[in-house]
Every structure is written in structure tokens, then in C-alpha cells.
Amino acid sequence: MTDVTSPTDLVPAPRAVRGPTRPGVELTPGTTLWAGPGTETTERWLRSTLGPALGLPLLPGPEDAPGGLRLRIDGTLAPEAYRLAVAADRGIEITGGGAAGVFWGAQTLRQLLGPEAFRRAPVRPGRTRDIPHRTIEDAPRLRWRGLMLDVARHFMPKDGVLRYLDLMAAHKLNVLHFHLTDDQGWRIEIQRYPRLTEVGSWRARTKVGHRASPLWDDKPHGGHYTQDDIREIVAYAAERHISVVPEIDVPGHSQAAIAAYPELGNSDVVDTASLTVWDTWGINPNVLAPTDNTLRFYEGVLEEVLDLFPADAGPFSPFVHIGGDECVKDQWRASDTAQKQLGNLGLADEEALQSWFVGHFDRWLTARGRRLIGWDEILEGGLAPGAAVSSWRGYAAGVTAARAGHDVVMCPEQQVYLDHRQDAGPDEPVPIGYVRTLEDVYRFEPVPAELTPEETARVLGTQANVWTEVMEDQGRVDYQTFPRLAALAEVAWSDLPAPADRDFAGFERRMEAHYRRLDALGVAYRSPTGPLPWQRRPGVLGRPIDGPPPHR
């Protein structure tokens, strides 16, 4: 009895599938695994994940073992490209342009083996699996294929983060943008500043729903990752060819840090000693003081961050995200200290003061072989040449940044913020923002058409952003993220036509097979028929916005 998936049911869709439909290779407990130089991460993953799911030991064997599985690198292919060849007389061979390419080829093999390959132990021991004769040739369209995970608003325990890294790998996503600090919580241990987690990682209560909601959860909420937790997350990601880009938000979104160390705030304007970790949502007026002391403090933070997130852990590991968004400058305008700093620096206004703040850390990171990336507000007041931009307020900032010679990650709120609601129906839980259906995400185009070829090369790629103000647990994160993340993964990986010409009906058909994989992985996704009864949140106020979102 066999249980395999058609090569036409793959998500994301590969570039080419060739070969006649005839018997190929049967995987059995006797199937051997040969791994060439440089393929060790995939060899370990096959033996630790795929093998146990199917009851296959995948014992070492010679390169020419009949019906064996072989891994090799061919430098003539692009680094993330792969070729998966299945032939009765040759066995199964995964060839990648680099180690990452071999790993992505193994993810495709897993999909071909059916949904049981996504479980942790065999549910039908002894079942044979015949992989049809096929050659799949594939390569990603975009280099940066990411997920931004907000663990500051609602803390996700370490095991949940590791689980999301596995879900990303299954969809050939390669960047985890790790949003570690915000007004509502500081989630990373900094040894020289212990109060950041002793005080800043816990809030006394939490707003339930949108900030206008009258509901509160009066149970304290919090948690943080120890430095060894972070090292484990980074190493686990690297084994799956995923770069982890940490975000330490400055100078706004910083009330948790100010609650821990009041001297970081504008204490000549507000009583910063009375501030606590924020318990509600929205844009917070309490921002960092633009002083040399604040710079020194965050240099100390970043020194430890750089040690925990080494630059050689992946192609995008040199990046450090510093936020830079939604910094309300009212306190700076009222602060004698901030105004004196502005005068001492000879700056024109508070926007230039933020540019000075961001520019300092751009130079500081550059001197240590790193690259700064921030939300598109960092363009205001001027931006250092080496800095990159996460374009979230639409496409315009990304176009501006690319034309100015900056690298860009396209993640416009109106298109790929997965906290936005998925349907206009009354049962949609805590409805936030615009309706962004699975089809809307599938028709998202991350590369603006108005860019020249040279400017287009500045678009590193795209990511979906998962903000967790109204996602209190793993089930809620799953519901908002899936299945839309599968659509984003195909947009980022596959060579799709223009949005209007994309075969969404064909994608929906392939998703029928993919839902079975998600079921096997235990993902609490939104069903195509709508939320299940326990996924609804009746009576919890959201912030729905009617009408289609602006395209630009």
C-alpha cells in the first residue's frame, strides 16, 4: 500500500517537474543514505525528522547503493537551487547549489511522501512508499523569505519558537525576524542589565482585544528567553538554513525598558520612575531620551545581542533590526535635555534628532561588521548608506529606499500583516484591520513594477508580519498565520506571473493536500469554511476597517 503526494501538489510550487509517470523508487527500512561533503545539516534532519516519521532508519550506505538516497552539492547551481531526481536505476538524488539548496530539496521530498511524513512517529508502520520517476528543478525567486514574529506583546515560550522554525523550514522560508522588545515586554536576557527581564518582562494585566475594548485579563503576563535559550534558537534555525534577525526597538516602543531603568526616559517631562510595563496597545508617548547615556546603555545591550546572534549563522545573520518606528516626539519637544542635545548637535528638528539616534547605531554596527535594518520611518531625516529598510507603511517607502540605494524588505501593512482579519463575517475572532484573504496574500506582489532593474536588485525579498496584540496563545497565532503564510511562501519562492494572472484556483487545489500536512503538524489554521467554534472570540472588540486597502 502506498501513500505519496503528486508532484503537482507541492507548496510552494517548483519551477519545473519533468519525467514520465512510471514506477520510480520504493522507500523501505533498508533504504540507505549517502551524504556528500557539505550536506551534513540535511543528513541530520533526514535522520532526526523524516526517518522517525516514517519508521525509516536511513542507515549509511555507499554512494552507488541501489535505490538509495543521495545528497550532494553541485556548485554550478545557485546556492539555494536544487534538483531532486527519482529514477528506478539511480534511487533518489538531491543535488543543491549549496547546503541550503540540498535542505530545500529534502523539504520537497518530504511533501512527496505524503502527510504522514509530517508526523513525529509512524502511524502505519510497514507501509511502502513508491516515489514516481520524476526530476524536479527548483530555485527561489527572492533571497529574503521571512516571518516577523512578535513575542513582545504576547510571549511565546521557547518550544513554540522552535516549532515555528520547523513550520518555516517546511515552507522554504529562511528569515525569522524576531521582535524581542516593545512597550509591553522585554524578552531577552541582558546580563549587565538584569532589571530588563526582572522588571521589564512582566506586566500586571493585559488588555483583551483592541485598546478600546473594556475587557481586561487581570492575570500577570510575561516571560523571557535566557541567553542559552537564544543560543539554542539561533543554532536550531541555522540547522534549518534560517537566519534569525533580532529586533531591539529604539527609540520608541520602549516603555518596558524605561520601566526597568527610568533614567532611559524623558524624566524632566514625565515621572519615569512611576512607569510600569505597558498593559494596553497602541502608539506609546513614552520614548527613550535622546542622550549620550541612552546610547551607552543600548551599546551595552547590543554588545550582548551580537554575541548571541553571530554574523556567520546564515546569509542574513549580519543584520540587526533597531525598530525606529512610531516614535512620538512630543516628549522631546517638551524636554529641556532633548532640546539642549538638539542644539549641541546643530540639528534642525526632532526628526533630525531621531536620524542622529539611528545613525549612531548604524555606524556602531557597521564598525563591528554588522548591518542595520529598521522600519521605514528611519528614512526620515536621512539614512546612512549601508542601512536597509523594512517597508511597512505601504510600497512608497520601499520604492524611495531602493531608488536611494538602500536594500529593502517589502512587508506592507495593507498586504501582509497577518493580524489583519481574514474575512468580514461576524465570527472572525477579534477583527483587526482590512480583510486580507488567502487569495489577497497569494496575489501580493513584493517587487514594485516601477523600479528599474538596478533598483529591483535592491529588493532583498519579503516577509509576513505577525503582531500578537490580540493573539494570546499558540492557537491564535496559528489561526492568523495559516494558511496565509503558505501563500506568502509561494509568492516569495515561486516564479509566479503577474498578480491578476496567478492561478489561485490551482493553488487552492494544491492547498487541499497541504491542509493534510498542516493537520499532521498540529497547526490550528483557519479552515476555508471559516473559524471553528473554539476559534471564535465573541464579544471581544476589534478594529475592523471597511473597504479594500490602499494598494500603495
Q: Which residues are catalytic?
A: 182, 253, 326
3-state class of 141 per DSSP? Answer: coil
Burial class (CB in 10 A: 0-12, 13-18, 19+), 273: exposed
For 415-441, letters b (16+ CB in 10 Å) and e give bbbbbbbbeeeeebbbbbbbbbbbebb
Between CA 118 and CA 96 the distance in angstroms is 22
Q: Which residues contact 461 (CB under 8 A, 6 or more apart)?
A: 142, 143, 144, 145, 146, 175, 409, 410, 446, 492
238: part of which helix (H) or strand (E)?
Answer: helix 227-239
The three three-digit cell numbers of residue 331, written as one number: 516628549
The three three-digit cell numbers of residue 62, written as one number: 555507499
388: part of which helix (H) or strand (E)?
Answer: strand 388-391
Helix axis angle, 504-521 to 484-493, nearest 10°:
120
3-state class of 375 per DSSP? Answer: strand
Listed residue (290, 298, 258) closest to 277, CA to CA: 258
The region, left, alpha or beta by phi > 0 then psi within -120 to 50, assigned to residue 412 is beta
DSSP state of 68: -
Which contacts qualify for 521-526: CB closer than 8 Å, 24 or more apart? 521/118, 521/166, 521/167, 521/170, 523/167, 523/478, 523/482, 524/474, 524/475, 524/478, 524/479, 524/482, 525/478, 525/479, 525/481, 525/482, 525/483, 526/422, 526/479, 526/480, 526/482, 526/483
List alpha helices for 317-430, DSSP H.
330-334, 336-345, 350-366, 396-403, 413-416
User: Is the Cα dihedral 284, 286, 287, 288 positive or negative?
Assistant: negative
The region, left, alpha or beta by phi > 0 then psi within -120 to 50, assigned to residue 66 is beta
The three three-digit cell numbers of residue 120, written as one number: 513525529
Supply φ then ψ for residue 79, to 5 degrees: -55, -40
Residue type at 127? Answer: R
DSSP state of 13: P
DSSP state of 208: -
Residue type at 208? Answer: V
DSSP state of 526: P
- Report how far Cα 368 is from the mean position of its chain's Cα atoms: 25
List alpha helices for 31-141, DSSP H.
40-45, 51-54, 99-112
User: Is the Cα dihedral 7, 13, 14, 16 positive or negative?
Assistant: positive
Between CA 93 and CA 67 the distance in angstroms is 10
